Amino acid sequence: MVRWVLVLLFVCNIGGVLYSSFFPSGVEGGVRAKKSMLTHETILLLDEAIASSVAVKYGNGKDSGSGFAQQSQLCTQIGAFRTHEMAEQVRQRLMTAAIGSDLKEVKVLSGLDYLIYIPPFGSKNQALRALRMLQAAKVQGHVMTEGELINGISLGQFTNRKQAEQLLVSRMADGYEVELKEVRKFRNDYWVEIHKDDLELLSDKLWENIHSKYKFVEKMDNLCDSTVAR
């Protein structure tokens, strides 16, 4: 009987060893570790989602603020007037209605001229000698005294490009080294900019009276400009 008990205990020990070999306790630890990793990854993903949400929120707020800033930079203006005097008359008319305003001077591209010229010489004396030779050959021109073409010789400036090109070809045929340059022309326009605090005082009737006298002007919202006409 004792022998069978010993055999039974031996078999149990063998079974325990085999169970430990095939089903180690590390499996449970691995499962816990994996679960911990998943939990950590989930936390990271949640943090990223929250951060992304916050970024979008603040990003939209920034865009909205930018739009508000642009809107706040708009000013109601009346114009454009070609002369300072006319704009000042309208400003005085607004003043009689207790409406404050400023005059704004804006430089506007009005067109192009086309200059035919001989490139600048090394000095004014050289340019003058060349000019005398041109005049002796019955070619009209003058020495330019300022700008990037100083000490060059102007042979003519035209509003019509075709006429300028004709002279260019003619002078090149005579053996002169000539070039064509576009010259931008500007004019000054004047706008009456109404003070924002007084804008509500500009009634439709007052605007109609102004517009009936100056039919070419408009009332519009433009970007506020810091250039004040003097």
Strands (E), 92-160: 101-118, 142-143, 153-158
CATH fold match for the domains 71-109+187-223 and 110-185: yes
Q: Among 15-24, 51-60, 125-134, 181-190, which is the least confidently predicted range? A: 51-60
CA R_g for the chain = 43
Q: How confident is residue 68, by pLDDT bands cut at 50, 70 and 90?
A: very low
What are the extents of the domains in the chain?
71-109+187-223, 110-185
Locus of tokens 């001989």: 118
- Name the pTM for this structure: 0.54
Residue for token digits 């030779």?
133
**Is domain 71-109+187-223 classified as CATH 3.30.450?**
no
pLDDT of residue 28: 43
Out of 3.10.100, 3.30.70, 2.60.40, 3.30.1490, select the CATH number for domain 110-185: 3.30.70
DSSP 228: B
What mean pLDDT comes out for the span 158-167? 96
